[in-house]
Structure 1
Amino acid sequence: MIDFLREFELQMSWRDAVDILLVAFVYYRIILMVKGTRAVSVIIGLLLILIVYYMAGEFGFYTLHWLLTNFLGSIFLVVIILFRRDIRKALSEMGAGRFWRSPKLEEQVLNELVLALVQMARERIGALVVLEKRVPLGDVTERGVELQAKLSKDLLLTIFHPDTPLHDGAVIVQRGLVKAAGCILPLAVGVRHKSTLGTRHRAAMGITEETDAVAVVVSEERGTISVAIGGKLTSSLDENRLQKVLTAALER
């Protein structure tokens, strides 16, 4: 084993090392993109088909093997059709530079968000705001009402006002834009003390379990502000601490 490693080290050039690092980085970015989306289920399905194809050849199931051979012959076209939205989004994000770095909120936009959340907490208005980072939330925004509006305090107060039709869902924010409102999020499963957590809090934990997003919840019952990161909830944040927590979370 040691001799093999030494031989490998001698044969490996700096170009090989750079090549491996580039491929690893591209795979890492692709995994981040498909995590938490329908693409994961599709990829698992394709892997199962490949396993069945291999087993059919090994055990002599010729008809099944023939069918899968014809299907896999057009797999490239199938992948393009199934992932056309994801491919288009990846190319546009690569051109904008987002493929390589995590999007950040401008300080002014973050201040508007914090002011809106603090006022809603003071007035006992329930709210759920999800801040998208590297992992796209396209599947979530598709289930809401698309807005594509610049984030502002007044806009958030209007969306979450109890008399508006979108106040029960989540708002998705991407790079300072309110992408969509009225979005339905997956709920966290296996959460302790479920009875003490509302639907918004469980939804915030659920979306941050599946993606790298940051979710902020305002409780209309207690008038408190909570932040969910990585499926964990930090509650009872005042304005200063909220600003610090969000700033730190979005810089990671």
Structure 2
Amino acid sequence: MPDILANFRLLDLLDIGIVAFIIYRIILLIKGTRAVQMLLGLAVILLVYVASRVGELHTLNWILSNFLSSIILVIVVIFQSDIRRALMHVGRNPFFAGLSFSEESAVLDELVQACVALGQKKIGALLVIERETGLKDVLETGTAIDARVTSEIIQAIFLTSSPIHDGALVVQQGRLTQAGCFLPLSQNLDISKYLGTRHRAAIGLTELLDAVVIVVSEETGKISVVVNGGITRDLDATDLRKVLGRLLEPRRKKTKQKRKG
């Protein structure tokens, strides 16, 4: 033990800290996703491989050895969506870029007001809010618009008489930029059968990107927020405002902390 401490360097401490941080971020990334179950499956395979070595089960050991020799490729294939989402976090594209704090609050208030009004009228809606990752692939399927975020415009777009009410409405950097966008449906078999196409589309997009999606159910009028493939349901105006504020206002909090310092 003393020999180990004698050879311990500050760089070793830095090395351990970096690895621990990477593992922590990976855990946060896959928390609540199917990736956890897949990792448990890989862990079971690894234990079986060790048991086959100890128990001299040569055929099983040969099969698992060949499988584990390509483990890096297997991980890339299995976790391609999670890896893509992690790499996309490298590029920053703040939702409120260029807006003052008062304008930020006004945008969120208009979004909440619109969703509550649509829910009361039981008009289905799907709003995609861009965060750090660009939505270029989504925007290719919609109709380009450029308008301020107001409750009246949002409600008008989702009226059944509107030619662009189908699909999703996209919000980028505090403005309405695209309507009638079609989103990829989730292939997750664990999703409740009671969730409709809008909810599945919202989950499907957020499994790939870090966007925040608001869903207003046409059948019940209830409001849900979907992020990172997870869904928070039955939100009222107060809860919706809190959730959106927590997800979309990190820049405000950081700026306040800097000012206090």
Amino acid of the residue matched to residue 110 of structure 2?
Answer: E
SS in 1 for 2:234: coil
Q: Which residue of 149, 172, 175 corresponds with 1:174?
A: 172
| Candidates 149, 152, 168, aligned match of 1:151 | 149
> 1:148 offset after TM fit, Å?
1.8
In the TM superposition, what is the alpha-carbon distance from 1:103 to its structure 2 partner? 2.3
Runs of 5+ unmatched residues, structure 2:
19-90, 97-102, 251-261
| Poorly superposed stretches of 4+, deviation over 3 Å | 5-10
**TM-score normalized by the length of structure 1:** 0.60
For 1:213 and 1:134, locate their aligned partners in 2 and report how far apart those are by CA, in whole Å.
Answer: 8
Q: Whole-Å Cα distance in 2 between the matches of residues 206 and 106 of structure 1?
A: 27
Once the two structures are TM-superposed, the CA of residue 244 in structure 1 deviates from its matched residue by 0.3
Q: Distance in 2 between matches of 1:113 and 1:168?
A: 18
- Give % identity: 43
Report deviation, 1:191.
Answer: 3.8
Task: Check 1:236–1:6 CA distance in 2 against 1; reply closer, same or farther (3 A cut).
Answer: same
CA change 1:190–1:113 in 2 (3 A) is: same
Match of 1:190 in 2: 188
RMSD, aligned CA: 3.3
What SS does the aligned partner of 1:156 have?
helix
3-state DSSP of counterpart to 1:182: strand
- Distance (Å, rounded) in 1 between the aligned partners of 2:214 and 2:193: 20
Q: Select the residue among 126, 136, 139 that pairs with 2:137.
A: 139
Matches within 5 A, 1:50-61: none
Q: Matched residues in 1 for 2:158 and 2:129: separation? A: 16
Please give the alpha-carbon distance, in whole angstroms, between the structure 2 residues aligned to 1:191 and 1:119: 32
C-alpha offsets along residues 51-99 of structure 1, whole Å, 9 cap, x if unaligned?
xxxxxxxxxxxxxxxxxxxxxxxxxxxxxxxxxxxxxxxxxxxxxxxx6
- Give the secondary structure class of the aligned counterpart of 2:219: coil
Q: Which residue of 2 aligns with 1:232?
A: 230
* 1:1-252 superposed matches below 5 A: 9=11, 100=92, 102-104=94-96, 106-252=104-250
SS at match of 1:159: helix
Query: Where in structure 1 are there 5+ consecutive unaligned residues?
Result: 11-16, 22-98
**If the length of structure 2 is used for normalisation, what is the TM-score?**
0.58
Partner Cα distance (2:240, 2:123) in 1: 17
Q: CA deviation at 1:168?
A: 1.3
CA apart distance, 1:192: 2.5
Following the alignment from structure 1 to structure 2, what is the Cα–Cα distance between the partners of residues 159 and 199? 19
For residues 6 and 140 of structure 1, do their structure 2 counterparts lie closer, same or farther at Cα, with a shift above 3 Å needed?
same
Q: Would the aligned equivalents of 2:92 and 2:133 in 1 still touch at CA under 8 Å?
A: no
